[in-house]
Amino acid sequence: MGFIAEVHLAHDDLPLVPTIERSSDVTLRYEYGTTHGDRRLQFVSAFGDDYPTLEAAMAADPTVSDPTRIATFDNRVIYRVVVDTDLELIPARCAEHGLFIFTITSDDDGWVTRLHLPDRDALSAFRINCRDRDISFRITQLYDSSVSDDQTYFLTDRQHEILTMAYYAGYFQVPRNATQDDLADRLGVSDSAVSQRLRRAISELIAATLENDRLPAKHG
């Protein structure tokens, strides 16, 4: 029972939002937060190519301090930052309403969180909590979680659009019949925006495939 929602959150004082706005070629994924003494720590994974630009943006970001590279892998880098803003991505008291977070990832000028809510009252409480803090709250997807008992992902409208366009334009063919520049021209956006949307959409599909592979087989 309940709902699965995707919600876009934006505010200049949310953790790392200034960094997100300055690093359009890198996608951030919130991993977890904790406290150490009187400091709030946040760990994020970064996906992209231009890590020097990302680290410069983090260093200049007033919402965080002491950005530290924790680990480097082929496909991502993990950072730890000290949070210097009072605003929280998901306030702790939202857990009292039964919110469960699947993922929190960066998107253009803010964060997108995919979550499960037990009822519409919980969604309303989350919206009010954001409104009281002047956080922009926009629902981009909402559906009944009983529609599927194993779907913990979905594509946003923009991700679906870019994948559909790329597929039918021949972007995934070998050799390619369309480039990212071609897709950018059709959508009227930058090449970096196309690259980021494609990476996010493909990442969602891969994550869903790997997650479903771990699910036990259903027997009729």
Torsion, Cα of 193, 194, 198, 200 (10° steps): 10
CB 197 within 8 A of CB 112: no
Between CA 164 and CA 162 the distance in angstroms is: 5
Identify the sign of the CA torsion 38, 136, 5, 80. Answer: negative
Mean pLDDT, range 68-91, rounded to an integer: 92
Ranges of H-type helices in 75-190: 120-131, 157-169, 180-187
* pLDDT reported for residue 146: 65
pTM, rounded to two decimals: 0.70
Residues 148-176: pLDDT tens digits? 444 445 566 677 788 888 888 889 888 88
Strand partners for 36: 39
Phi and psi at 49, nearest 5°, equal -120, -30
Cis check: omega of the bond before 175, within 30 degrees of 0: yes
